[in-house]
């Protein structure tokens, strides 16, 4: 499902216009991005949580030459699915 398909599905289930739904989805995503960027954790009960993580610096290898290269430390974004979401995905029919 891409973003337009998500907008269509949400608009159909809420009865709102596609334009209003797209603005709402954009606002939600921007708010999550802003919060995680500043170091906050966003927890959506039943769905999951978004947080920042750290990846340590390490030594890697260039696959073409085999030469060692240094890979810098970086911040990462972590998503942890909530129990209800995991249960829904693992539901057996």
In angstroms, the CA 24 to CA 14 distance is 12
pLDDT band at 45; cut points 50, 70, 90 = very high
Q: List own/partner pairs for 33-41 with CB under 8 A and 24 or more apart.
A: 36/77
Is 27 exposed, middle or buried, given 0-12, 13-18 or 19+ CB atoms closer than 10 A? exposed
Average pLDDT over residues 6-14: 97
Average pLDDT over residues 65-70: 94
Average pLDDT over residues 23-52: 96
Q: Give the end-to-end CA distance of the chain in Å, rounded to a whole number.
A: 22
Determine contact, residues 73/55, Cβ cutoff 8 Å. yes
Which residue shows structure tokens 């129990």?
83
Average pLDDT over residues 37-60: 96
């Amino acid at each position: 499902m891409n973003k337009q398909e998500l907008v269509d599905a949400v608009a159909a289930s809420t009865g709102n216009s596609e334009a209003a739904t797209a603005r709402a989805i954009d606002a939600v995503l921007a708010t999550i991005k802003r919060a995680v960027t500043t170091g906050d954790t966003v927890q959506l009960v039943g769905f999951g949580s978004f947080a920042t993580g750290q990846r340590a610096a390490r030594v890697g290898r260039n696959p073409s030459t085999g030469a060692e290269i240094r890979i810098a430390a970086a911040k990462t974004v972590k998503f942890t699915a909530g129990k209800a979401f995991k249960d829904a995905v693992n539901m057996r029919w």
